[in-house]
Every structure is written in structure tokens, then in C-alpha cells.
């Protein structure tokens, strides 16, 4: 599973393997960087090349991208939306299923609290993936959190004697169904 925290200056990418018992293992984490002084097309090309390289090297089975949300800084949200579009396009071109998740969805999945701060997310990612240090920078931790969120939310086969979703995940899915009606 490839998680992407889209951005033009820093685009976090994280690949995790999640086994049948929902245990995550770090495969790759990094940040694709582009200069703020470069032209927008060049910056998007750098992001695209970085994502393609991660897909080619690690061959994830799906891609999850943080959903763009409205911010007061429209310049920032535009760059994030453009990088997100590039990520979704590359997933499609690579034949990979892709999904988006809101920041609060991701935070709730990995910390249990949808308004968790960056440090809380980094701390939980380090615990979940059994890392000796917090993933740095925060964009890298966010990419791993997005990957884990999607892997856990998409369900899939459970190990014998286990439910496909944890009790918390089943409650979350039920609450989402109610909210949509």
C-alpha cells in the first residue's frame, strides 16, 4: 500500500505491508522535494517522477492520497490539489486502485482522535510500525498514516478466527453509514 501526502514543496510517500492480522510493516518512506523557485510544470514533473519511481521499485497493490481540503491559503491548497491530481493520475496509469481520505479520517484511524496533532500522528506511526525513531519530516509520517488508514479501511480477508474489521473499525463504518443517510 502506497500512501501519499501531496504537496509541491514536500510530497510525502510511504509504503507499508499490512498482513491479515492488520499488523503493519514499513517498506519505504520518503519525501519528494521540489524547489519553490521552479516553474509549476517542473515541480509537478518532479513529484510525478518521484511517485513513479516508488511504484516501480516497491510495486504497491493500491494508492491512497490525502484528500485536499479547503484552507485559508488558496495558493497552498492549489499546489496540494495539483500534486494530488498527479498522484491519482499516476495510480490510474499504473493500473492501481486509488482512494482519497480526509486528514481527520487518517488521524482517527491511526490515533483514535480526528484532531490529533502532527506529533501524535508521528508517535503512533512509530508505535504501529515498531520504529525506533519518529518518521521525519511530518509529511513522511502522514504518508505512512494514509497508507495504514486505507489498508485498514478497505478490509479484506481476515486471518482464520478473526473478523475482517476490528470492533472500532466496524463501529466507525456503521457511524459513516448513518451519517450518509
| Spatial CB neighbours of 84, under 8 Å, sequence gap ≥ 6 | 4, 6, 65, 66, 67, 68, 100
Q: What is the average pLDDT across 162-179?
A: 56
Write down the pTM of the prediction: 0.84
Of residues 144 and 79, the one with the higher pLDDT is: 144
pLDDT, tens digit, for every residue of 119-140?
999 999 999 999 999 999 999 9
Is 19 catalytic? The answer is no
Question: Is 139 a known active-site residue?
Answer: yes
What are the pLDDT digits (tens) for 78-116? 889 999 999 999 999 999 999 999 999 999 999 999 999
Considering the candidates 19, 66, 105, 132, report the single residue annotated as catalytic: 66
Segment among 23-27, 28-32, 109-113, 153-157 with least mean pLDDT: 153-157
Task: Give the active site residue among 17, 37, 117, 139.
Answer: 139
Cα separation, 55 vs 4, in Å, equals: 11
Q: Bridge-partner residues for 150, per DSSP? A: none
Q: Is 39 in the active site?
A: no
Amino acid at each position: 500500500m502506497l500512501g501519499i501526502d501531496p504537496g509541491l514543496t514536500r510530497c510525502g510517500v510511504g509504503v507499508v505491508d499490512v498482513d491479515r492480522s492488520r499488523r503493519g510493516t514499513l517498506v519505504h518512506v520518503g519525501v519528494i522535494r521540489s524547489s519553490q523557485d521552479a516553474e509549476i510544470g517542473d515541480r509537478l514533473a518532479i513529484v510525478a517522477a518521484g511517485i513513479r519511481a516508488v511504484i516501480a521499485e516497491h510495486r504497491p497493490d493500491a494508492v491512497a492520497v490525502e484528500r485536499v481540503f479547503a484552507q485559508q491559503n488558496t495558493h497552498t491548497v492549489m499546489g496540494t490539489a495539483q500534486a494530488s491530481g498527479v498522484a491519482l493520475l499516476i495510480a490510474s496509469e499504473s493500473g492501481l486502485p486509488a482512494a482519497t481520505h480526509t486528514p481527520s479520517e487518517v488521524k482517527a484511524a491511526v490515533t483514535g482522535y480526528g484532531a490529533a496533532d502532527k506529533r501524535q500522528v508521528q508517535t503512533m506511526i512509530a508505535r504501529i510500525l515498531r520504529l525506533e525513531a519518529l518518521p521525519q519530516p511530518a509529511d513522511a509520517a502522514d504518508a505512512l498514516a494514509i497508507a495504514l488508514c486505507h489498508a485498514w479501511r478497505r478490509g479484506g480477508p481476515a486471518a482464520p478466527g478473526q473478523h475482517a474489521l476490528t470492533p472500532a473499525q466496524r463501529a466507525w463504518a456503521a457511524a459513516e453509514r448513518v451519517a450518509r443517510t
